[in-house]
Amino acid sequence: MTQKAFSILNELLTEQDSLKIMIVENDLIVDNNPLRDTGIHTANLIKRFKRRGISRIDFLKGVTFSEIKQFIVDLSETDKGLKTYPNIKTGVIDVRLGGLKVDADFDISNLPRFTSEQIETVKEVYHDISYFRRLNTAGLEEIVVNFIVTFRKAANILQLISPVRSYSEYTYTHATNVAVLSMFQAESLGVTDELLRDIGIAALLHDVGKLFISNEILEKNGPLEEDEWDEIRQHTLYGARYLTKADDLTRLAPIVALEHHLRYDSQGYPKLNITSKRQHICSQIVAISDFFDAMRSRRPYRRELETKEILSLMKTKAGTEFNPLLLDNFLRIMVLTLKEK
Ligand SMILES: [Fe+2]
Ligand SMILES: [Fe+2]
């Protein structure tokens, strides 16, 4: 039986670099295709994996017959720990909707992302604002439409969001990531066309006010003083003020710039002195993307967090910092994304 499995596997691996097997409930999913009614052998195999706490196995090109045999033998000896296998990787994908549990052990850092050209266009828009205070509204629209096309083609959204390489790149890679994540959320909620584009543009510009804050504070290597934090918090007001004056720009942009640090429970900043003021739903979407992306990058005062750590942390903020329904939706689409990878 193993010999037969091996020849099938080998054949598949001549055409692709890896074969991904996942266990979801009692189904075996091979490269995203569920196998059904696969008989007693498969059921036994699933049981063995489950006993080991394994729910994902990747077979890589170059896997040998003896490696697979050893792997299966080791699996059945429950008292022994699994060894490492050069071409077989095991991990956990645990997806439970409802009482959501997030647990994904796979490294997402080496996947394809946006082309450097796409990031470069965002950089240009930012430089225009920085040096000439000029906002290229038409350019923004183009960028956002381009993003939508890209993320519709992508198998998963985490492939698209870029890691930050240096601080100077932070501003526009963060802007790009927040825009992509916000449009992804909005689209999953049924938002289309103009509103989808407007959310993308507003998200792309949410931190534009930071361009009006001195680099000395923004790039300070070490903990910030209270008055420096106060100045950083002003980026919401600076951004909103700048964007209100821009022609042909969606009204959402200044709203989101103003409100993205205002929380769902109306705590946060800036203090608006309007008692009935609730955070706009689009600002709530952007706040979720903003938090997720910000936590992925290292800061002088904290390390970067892994995806699953961020998602669990976010869950603790439902109903206070984040709109619980939007957060539920975000966790759902992120977990599905992790699962699909
Ligand atoms: Fe911000
Ligand atoms: Fe931000």
Q: Where are the domains of the chain?
A: 2-91, 116-340
Residue 313: closest CA among 336, 296, 300:
296
Q: Counting ligands in written order, which one lies closest to the CA of residue 257? A: 1
Residue 214 burial (CB count, 10 A): 10
Q: What span, in angstroms and rounded, lies between the C-alpha atoms of 84 and 127?
A: 48
Q: Counting ligands in written order, which one lies closest to the CA of residue 235? A: 1
Residue 306 burial (CB count, 10 A): 16
Q: Counting ligands in written order, which one lies closest to the CA of residue 170? A: 2
pLDDT of residue 36: 62
Q: What span, in angstroms and rounded, lies between the C-alpha atoms of 328 and 98?
A: 9
Give Cβ neighbours of residue 46 (< 8 Å, ≥ 6 apart). Answer: 23, 26, 28
Tokens representing residue 246 in the block = 């821009």
Q: What span, in angstroms and rounded, lies between the C-alpha atoms of 70 and 66?
A: 6
pLDDT of residue 78: 65
Tens digit of pLDDT for each residue in 98-144?
233 333 333 333 333 556 677 788 888 888 887 778 888 888 888 88
268: β partners: 262
**What is the mean predicted confidence (pLDDT) over 93-99?**
35
Q: Is 102 exposed, middle or buried (0-12, 13-18, 19+ CB in 10 A)?
A: buried
User: Does 165 have pLDDT greater than 80?
Assistant: no
DSSP 111: S
User: Does 254 have pLDDT greater than 70?
Assistant: yes
CATH topology for 116-340?
Hypothetical protein af1432 (1.10.3210)
pLDDT of residue 106: 33
Distance 169 CA to ligand 2 centre (A): 13
Distance 133 CA to ligand 1 centre (A): 19
Q: Counting ligands in written order, which one lies closest to the CA of residue 261? A: 1
User: Does 328 have pLDDT greater than 80?
Assistant: yes
Tell me the residues surrounding ligand 1 (ion) with CB < 5 Å: 207
**What is the mean predicted confidence (pLDDT) over 54-76?**
81
DSSP string of 152-188, one letter each residue: HHSS-GGGTSPPP-SHHHHHHHHHHHHHHHHHHHHHH
- Residue ranges of E strands in the chain: 18-24, 27-30, 33-35, 56-60, 88-91, 93-96, 101-104
Average pLDDT of the chain is 80
Distance 171 CA to ligand 1 centre (A): 10
Distance 203 CA to ligand 2 centre (A): 9
